[in-house]
Amino acid sequence: MTVAALIEVAGAGGHRLSAWRAEPSVRAKGGIVVLHAVYGATKHMGDVCARWAAAGYTAVAPALFDRIARDRIHAYDKPADGTKDYAALTEAQIFADIAACVGAAGGRAAISGFCTGGTWAWRAAAAMEFPAQVNFYGSHIPAFIDLSPRCPTILHYGDRDHVVPMAEVENIRSRHPDVEMHVYTGAGHAFENVEQANYNAAAGDLAWARSIAFMDRWVGNRP
């Protein structure tokens, strides 16, 4: 069974951050950097990295809140604490930590994210070079709808998402017709996370299958 381990990554300006990392048992097809939700680099992020590794990709999930305090994790019933932490970080800091983790993921790495991490993945994909973006219910993409990803992108939303209502999801679809969009019936926000109340196994597994196929198309099968 593929498992993830916590590593330390050397960032810009002497900053060092922890990150979950998992790699496949055979030669990697590529890499992916995964940005966490408002709760921080929880064990779920390690499980996500392990799942990517099982699919053939080296995955790294940085602990972005390490810039505030080491090993900073928030409870699932206190999202406001994590929202405050994300607001304390600058774009330059987050982009620098992403760039450091691209190297830790092998150099040719896609960008991914969950919830607010999905928003940052969207912003990074509009500003930096990636071969692909895999985005799970990016919570504030509507606020950055004028940004356009510079790489192939897949988005996953549930039709019962209380953070991003369907009207906003459809607006993203309308404004970005080149983005591959999937909406899951009966799924709420954070439907992929087995540790949260909105976990929906059918929607989560289907989103994973589509994400892996997407990565294989745009990263794994590219030179």
Cβ neighbours of residue 83 under 8 Å, at least 6 residues apart? 38, 116
Cβ neighbours of residue 42 under 8 Å, at least 6 residues apart? 36, 73, 195
> If you average pLDDT over residues 18-47, what whole number do you get?
97
Residue 1 clears pLDDT 80, i.e. is over it: no
CA distances to 42, 75, 89, 144, 205 from 52, rounded to whole Å, are 16, 24, 27, 27, 13
* Domain spans of the chain, in order of start: 5-220
pLDDT for 94-149, tens place per residue? 999 999 999 999 989 999 999 999 999 999 999 999 999 999 999 999 999 999 99
Give bridge partners of residue 30 from the DSSP assignment. Answer: 57
pLDDT for 84-97, tens place per residue? 999 999 999 999 99
- Superfamily name with CATH number, domain 5-220: Alpha/Beta hydrolase fold, catalytic domain (3.40.50.1820)
pLDDT for 180-199, tens place per residue? 999 999 999 999 999 999 99
